[in-house]
Structure 1
């Protein structure tokens, strides 16, 4: 990349990240609902729930970004 040029941003980037965030929020909500519903010895502590929600969100957005790259490479051919 030449120093004077700006990096080109894909038009599909924002929609895929938004969809990944929505999917992550839905999965996190389901996880928390299921986790708070268990009132037994196997219930997760609060810090574990926090870490799991963060991991779910990260993975959902990361996978959405990977799918976007696959779609872009497929449409360029």
Structure 2
């Protein structure tokens, strides 16, 4: 209904924060491996930027899906 406020889950913030932390760690690992690899040429800057953005997006998205699964499991 238009007059009702949508209820926000209490688990939303912890899962998003956990997803962001995991994404930051994976991004740091990716950048370390990219810069530390002397055998092959490093990725261009735009590729690194896109890859870090994708890593962050996927980590937060998967954390949100996991939260929904946990909430569904807790309801039953």
Fold conserved (TM > 0.5)? yes
Q: How many residues align?
A: 76
Which structure 2 segments of 5+ residues have no match? none
Which runs of at least 4 in structure 1 moved beyond 4 Å after TM superposition? Answer: none
CA distance in structure 2 between the aligned counterparts of 1:71 and 1:49, rounded to whole angstroms: 33
Whole-angstrom CA distance in 2 between matches of 1:10 and 1:34: 37
Give the match for residue 43 of structure 1: 42
Alignment of 1:1-77 (within 5 A): 2-77=1-76
Superposition RMSD in Å: 0.9
Aligned equivalents of 2:41, 2:65: Cα separation in 1: 34
TM-score scaled to structure 2, two decimals?
0.95
